[in-house]
Structure 1
Amino acid sequence: MTTQTVLPVEPDALQSTSVNNGEPAWLTESRVNALRLAAELDLPKLEKTKLERWDLSNFGTLRTERPSVTQQLPESVASLVDLKEDSNLIVQHNSAAVYASLSAELAAKGVIFTDLETAVREHEDLVKPYLHTLVKPEENRLTALHAALWNGGVFLYVPKNVEVDIPLQSIFLIDDAASSFAPHVLIIAEANSRVTYVDNYISGQYDSKVVHNGAAEVFIKAGAKVQFASVHHLNEQTTDLINRRSIVDNDGSIEWIVGEMNAGDSASETLSVLQGNGSLSDAKVIAVGSGSQKLNYTTKAVHFGKSSDSQMITRAVMREQSTAIINGITKIEKGATKANGEQTEKVLMLSPKARGDANPILLIDEDDVTAGHAASVGQVNQEQIYYLMSRGISREQAERLIIYGFLAPVVSDIPLEQLQQQLQGLVERKLGQ
């Protein structure tokens, strides 16, 4: 069934807003063209999930003025960061970046870390060749709407041979359902560079439904290494939709560490394109579902390079009436000899009404490769419970230990201690413990 697409803004209004905000002409044209595409394209087709049945009616109201970035943190996010003299942090509040800080030492090395709206004006030559080339507007209605309406966001550029030893962090906060909330993260790691980026999506409370339609594009040049950690804990009124994608050149590597802790319906794709020989992707994703949440998470690696390697671990814990579709896709293209792709999807259900589907998919077009998968869906192992209880541990505590052990491969890898503690707290809260 085809439904009529009602655009959240008219093309003329979008064009005027872009011009008034001082955006370059190419970006204004890109936004307007993407909005027109959105009226023609269908929603993405997700495995065993019909997005047509989700409430995707509110993408918020377009911001009409250029924001001013200050050095004053919103009180609601101050507790999430440990601010020091040279903090490396970007904060987006609703539709605009409100805080940006980069240490003088990193700036002197040529590192750029700012909101994306500022970057398109001040670093156009770096942004223009990459923006919307991994998450393309023409893919579907949601990617088109994102290309038209994105705001705030992050631009991170690490020059050749520069190694950044401390994590760079961003916080995306929404507490107004009337605001458009669509951050775009763009990361470029030049040859032989190294960086860790951490972001955190949080929300206040509001009564009406709202859609977060986000994207992240990561470009990893030869020999570069990027660690990308992300925790999403948006409220039950927020539908969370995001595409995270990277392309990796020769001997480069991407490590994804993702915690999906939302209270509302959510869908994400985390994709690595292993373009170069010897390229590497390591993806770890955990999710906890509760209430009547509907979740759809896809982790994917596409191998083009020889001797490329991908590892995926996805673990989901489902409570109450929540449902999850967990997809793992390894695609090895013709010519990617000696490639190796391994994936594991596991779903632990804590309620007889909860449902989880684990779908491992291997698509192999080359003979001289190694690939494998493992998938499981089940309840808490009662033998493990009884064993722990025989050591004097209560049943409740035994179940808790088993669940934490189930999720530990991701939680323990979060590269920022404060975020790791926060994720642990979110797991406890979602499990009702």
Structure 2
Amino acid sequence: MSIETILPVDRQSVSAQSESKQEPQWMSELRLKGLELAGALELPKLEKTRLDRWSLDGYGGYKHTDLIKTYNELPEAAKELLNEENSANLLVQINSNVAYSDVKAELAAQGVLFLELASALQQHGDLIKSYFMQAVKQDESRISALHSAIWNGGIFIYVPKNVKVELPLQALFLSNDAQATFAPHILIVAEANSSVSFVDNWISTEEGQRVANGVIEVFVKQGAKVRYASVHSLSEQVTDLTYRRAVVENDGRMEWIVGELNSGNVLSDTTSILKGGGSSSDAKVICVGTNDQKMNLTTRAIHFGRSTNSDMITRAVMRDKSTAIINGVTKIEKGATGANGQQTEKVLMLSPHARGDANPILLIDEDDVKCGHAASVGQVNPEQIHYLMSRGIAKSEAQRLIIYGFLAPVVAELPIEKLAAKLQELVERKLGQ
């Protein structure tokens, strides 16, 4: 007996969105195919997590946000995270579309593209078609299929061969209308021997249950380097479903820095596919769980090329009745000789009612490799607290210092100083310190 899947969007609304934006026929067809697949596919089966018990219906509909001409016109929630003096090369998406853009002419002079994905689709359709939904496949699950049908706004970054982008590119994704679809798609293509850093923030305001369904696809060509830093601090009523995927070719390097500071339920999947020989990836992830939120975080490196290297560090701090399932997966495919994969997962428990599971997983189909893992779940060390208190530091301040030191290996990697300071502020706010 089959059970009919009731989707949060219908064919008519998907077609209307594509038509209103005058998308090319191939994108219209891709959207409709995604909706069809969403009706047939199941939700992802996650370790110790029942997605079918989460609130996954609040997708809303496409709502256009008028363009904002000056920085001062941005919503206060956006300006709190940003710095006008360092706001060069910034895009801001509000709900379903990019509403603010400040991109310097120097980028265009280098041949770099940095614009809303919806606009890039009009101007560079053939280029987008070559990469869109190629790292994260439409048919992976109901979530990815639905994203391909309803995605909106988003960012496209293209860095030509041999071009080094010195300053980080920035984006802010703001959801402040529970009735508006919030499903950004970020697509980055770094050609051979190029380099770029990209930083984004995801925030929400206003009341109302809703779903954020985001996909990030990064293509790192031969000898290129991409650093992607992302901080999510969506509210308790937002369910965050985010897939990050990078395909790395010969001698390319991918760096992920992820801060999961959401207050609602979170599915976070960050994966590097080391396709080429000599390619490498480094992923650093932190999360803080509070109240009764549920989080499932997976960091993954899949080695196909020879002499590939991956390193993964995940740190989680859990309090109240929160739950986190932390999965680290290193997969060495047959033929990936000389591969080296290392991973560490650590969970710091601040409450006897919280739960944190650290699951290091090694899947090795080749003999000539090096792999290692470490995992721990524990409470704040009382000896460390005692030592700091013996130096005249109050107990609450001692605990704060230990927690921040625990998270420091990730926070210190953020490429923008103001963002690192804001991340620390968000951590302290979540922990009530």
Counterparts of 1:376-391 in structure 2, within 5 Å, are 376-391=376-391
Partner of 1:147: 148
Correspondent of 1:72 among 70, 73, 76: 70
| Deviation for aligned residue 1:397 | 1.5
Counterparts of 1:143-182 in structure 2, within 5 Å, are 143-182=144-183
Query: Deviations along 1:217-237, whole A, 9 cap, x unmatched?
Result: 000000000000000000000
- Assess, with a 3 A threshold, how the Cα gap between structure 1 residues 86 and 105 changes in structure 2: closer, same or farther: farther
Amino acid at match of 2:70: Q
| Deviation for aligned residue 1:69 | 4.3
| Deviation for aligned residue 1:83 | 2.9
| Deviation for aligned residue 1:272 | 0.1
SS at match of 1:129: helix
Answer yes or no: is 1:126 the counterpart of 2:127.
Answer: yes
Counterparts of 1:16-415 in structure 2, within 5 Å, are 16-63=16-63, 69-73=67-71, 74-76=74-76, 77-84=78-85, 87-206=88-207, 208-415=208-415
| Deviation for aligned residue 1:384 | 1.3
TM-score by length of 2: 0.97
Amino acid at match of 1:284: K
Count of aligned residue pairs for this structure pair: 430
Counterparts of 2:347 and 2:86 in 1: how far apart (Å)? 43
| Deviation for aligned residue 1:3 | 5.5
Counterparts of 1:85 and 1:428 in 2: how far apart (Å)? 24
Amino acid at match of 1:154: I
Counterparts of 2:430 and 2:82 in 1: how far apart (Å)? 22
- Assess, with a 3 A threshold, how the Cα gap between structure 1 residues 341 and 46 changes in structure 2: closer, same or farther: same
- Answer whether contact 1:323 1:356 (CA < 8 A) is retained: yes
Query: Deviations along 1:51-92, whole A, 9 cap, x unmatched?
Result: 0111111111134x6x66443342221232223598101100
Counterparts of 1:388 and 1:421 in 2: how far apart (Å)? 23
Amino acid at match of 1:92: Q
Counterparts of 1:279 and 1:69 in 2: how far apart (Å)? 40
Counterparts of 1:299 and 1:11 in 2: how far apart (Å)? 34
Query: Deviations along 1:97-141, whole A, 9 cap, x unmatched?
Result: 101221111110100000100011111121110000111111111
| Deviation for aligned residue 1:11 | 1.2
Identity of aligned residues (%): 59
Root mean square deviation, CA, Å? 1.4
TM-score by length of 1: 0.97
Counterparts of 2:231 and 2:106 in 1: how far apart (Å)? 27
Counterparts of 2:5 and 2:98 in 1: how far apart (Å)? 29
Counterparts of 2:198 and 2:2 in 1: how far apart (Å)? 40
User: Structure 1: which 5+ residue stretches go unaligned?
Assistant: none
- Answer whether contact 1:302 1:332 (CA < 8 A) is retained: yes
| Deviation for aligned residue 1:264 | 0.4
| Deviation for aligned residue 1:212 | 0.4
SS at match of 1:128: helix
- Assess, with a 3 A threshold, how the Cα gap between structure 1 residues 429 and 124 changes in structure 2: closer, same or farther: same
- Answer whether contact 1:86 1:103 (CA < 8 A) is retained: no
Amino acid at match of 2:227: Q
Answer yes or no: is 1:10 the counterpart of 2:10.
Answer: yes
Counterparts of 2:326 and 2:358 in 1: how far apart (Å)? 5
Query: Deviations along 1:263-315, whole A, 9 cap, x unmatched?
Result: 00111100000001110100000000000000000000000111100000000
User: Structure 2: which 5+ residue stretches go unaligned?
Assistant: none
Query: Deviations along 1:210-257, whole A, 9 cap, x unmatched?
Result: 000110000000000000000000000000000000000011000000
SS at match of 1:330: strand
